[in-house]
Amino acid sequence: MIIIDEEKIFDIIEMRKPTSVALNGPDGLLPKVQDLTLKIGKKYGIPAYLLADTTWGTCDLNSNGAKTLNAEILFNIGHTNSMETFEKNVIMIDAFDDISFDSVTKKCIKIFQGKTISLITDSQHLNQIESIKKILEENDVNVKIGKGKGQLNDGQVFGCEFYPATETIDDVDANVFLGQSNFHAAGVAMATNKPTYILDPYFNEIREITDFARKLQKKATLEIYKAVDAETFGIIIGLKEGQISKLTGLKFKRELEGEGKSVHLIALTDITNERLRNLKDIDAFIQVACPRISTDNKFDKPVLSTPQAVALIKLLRKEKIENYFQIKHWL
- pLDDT tens, 27-85? 889 999 999 999 999 999 999 999 999 888 778 788 889 999 999 999 999 887 766 55
Average per-residue pLDDT for the chain: 93
**Contact predicate 312/263, CB 8 Å:** no
Q: What is the pLDDT of residues 217-243, one digit of tens each?
A: 999 999 999 999 999 999 999 998 878
Distance CA 214, CA 193 (A): 9
Whether residue 267 contacts residue 240, with contact meaning beta carbons closer than 8 Å, is answered with no
Select the CATH number that applies to the domain covering 214-316 from these four: 3.40.50.11860, 3.30.200.20, 1.10.260.40, 3.40.309.10: 3.40.50.11860
Strand arrangement, sheet containing 73-77: 48-50, 21-24, 73-77, 90-93
What is the domain partition of the chain in residue ranges? 2-97, 102-208, 214-316
The yes-or-no answer to whether 102-208 and 214-316 have a common fold is: yes
Residue 86, pLDDT score = 64
Write out the H or E segment, with its range, that includes residue 281.
none
Look at residue 241 and give its three-state secondary structure.
coil
pTM: 0.90
Burial of 247 (0-12, 13-18, 19+ CB in 10 A): exposed
In the predicted model, is pLDDT for residue 138 greater than 80?
yes
Cα angle for residues 76, 186, 302 (degrees, 5° grid): 90
Instruction: Classify domain 102-208 at the CATH class level.
Output: alpha beta
For residue 6, what pLDDT band results from cuts at 50, 70 and 90?
Answer: very high
Average pLDDT over residues 74-100: 83
Sign of the CA dihedral with 202 first, then 203, 204, and 206 last: negative
Q: What is the pLDDT of residues 291-321, one digit of tens each?
A: 889 998 999 999 999 999 999 999 999 999 9
CB 21 within 8 A of CB 93: no
pLDDT, tens digit, 9 for 90 and up, residues 154-181: 999 988 899 999 999 999 999 999 999 9
Residues 268-286: tens digit of each pLDDT: 999 999 999 999 999 999 9
Q: What are phi and psi of 30, to 5 degrees?
A: -55, -40
Higher pLDDT, 132 or 55: 132
CA separation for the pair 317, 177 (Å, rounded):
37
Tell which wins on pLDDT, 60 or 201.
Answer: 201
Q: Which CATH architecture has domain 2-97?
A: 3-Layer(aba) Sandwich (3.40)
The answer to whether residue 322 scores a pLDDT higher than 90 is: no
